Amino acid sequence: MSKNVIDDHVCAFNARDLTAFVACFSEEIKIFKLPGEELIADGLDSIRSIYAKKI
């Protein structure tokens, strides 16, 4: 992983490398749908399952 996590994140997505893509997130990630407080992702497993359909 380089010093620029954004570049790593974009490169992993473009390369369709789900493992490298998920590695860019903290294990404690939580993603909320805005506006509001609807939790749509909680942890790396939920990120992996969401993006497995997109990558």
Q: Is it the case that residue 1 has pLDDT exceeding 60?
A: no
Per-residue pLDDT tens over the stretch 32-49 = 999 988 999 999 999 999
Nearest to 8 by CA among 24, 25, 29: 24
Domain count, the chain: 1
> Tell me, what's the pLDDT at 55?
79
Categorise residue 33: left if φ over 0, alpha if ψ from -120 to 50, beta otherwise. beta
In this prediction, residue 4 carries a pLDDT of 85
At 13 the three-state DSSP class reads helix
Q: What is the pLDDT of residue 2?
A: 55
Read off the amino acid at residue 41: A
- Which domain covers residue 32, as residue numbers? 5-52
pTM of the complete model = 0.78
The tokens describing 13, both together, are 């997505």
pLDDT confidence of residue 53: 86
CATH of the domain at 37: 3.10.450.50
Can you tell me the distance from the alpha carbon of 12 to that of 33, in angstroms, rounded to the nearest whole number? 23
**What is the C-alpha to C-alpha distance for residues 7 and 4, in angstroms, rounded to an integer?**
6
